[in-house]
Structure 1
């Protein structure tokens, strides 16, 4: 029987605290990762603009967790809340068949507005996860 790349489980009670990976505890040199910076843009409004947003309004998510709005602009908190749960996943490489890798449009929950946002990857950034936690 070919086990391929499957790593056998550690024996119960082995006392090892090593996480999955190369078998080494995380250090500053092996905690590098790559994340995408994102731009969330109002792609279209199919109803009436209840919150005062317009097509083209946007915000960016940079360096893992820095949310930025253009000077003098706003972004509806309900539209933000509807897309926010997906942003961490969109910042990472996803499996080719993953539906989130293929879909980039998200809707605000307001049925009167029918605001549709598009999530775009703008930059791939190398970061050290030890700097983020």
Structure 2
């Protein structure tokens, strides 16, 4: 006879899934990106492109340091809770991206890196 299993008591962390979306291009798009292009961050660490899509690695490197913080609920007074625009470092492009929270998921803390 098997003993009844206790509910999983593992600590859990709430994380947002995110999309980084090209909101506007104020210069010329040297990298071939256009308004509406996006990359999604899901399940804590998975970057996903839409079928046939691409995302400039220089634009991505500008937004990468902010993503772990945007995945978490921050205090209301925190500037990063309010701000969600990031500029690509290429001054000729002046490409502006928006970080959008697309959903929230509960994950076992021990499974996070």
Q: Same fold (TM over 0.5)?
A: yes
Query: What is the CA distance between 1:60 and its match in structure 2?
Result: 0.4
Does residue 33 of structure 1 match 2:20? Answer: no
Deviation at 1:111, TM superposition (A): 0.1
Scaled by the length of structure 1, what TM-score is found? 0.77
Q: Which runs of 4+ in 1 moved over 2 A?
A: none
Give distance in 1, aligned partners of 2:110 and 2:10.
10
In structure 2, stretches of 5+ residues that fail to align are 1-7
Of structures 1 and 2, the one with the larger relative CO (CA 8 A, separation 6+) is 2
Match of 1:63 among 8, 18, 43: 43
Calculate the aligned-residue CA RMSD, in Å.
1.0
Which aligned pairs between 1:101-116 and structure 2 lie closer than 5 A? 101-116=81-96
More strand by share: 2
Distance 2:81 2:75 in 1: 7
TM-score if structure 2 supplies the norm length?
0.91
Distance 2:107 2:42 in 1: 11
Residue of structure 1 in register with 2:98 after alignment: 118
In structure 1, how many angstroms separate the alpha carbons of the residues matched to 2:57 and 2:10?
37
Residue 82 (structure 1) aligned with residue 62 (structure 2): yes
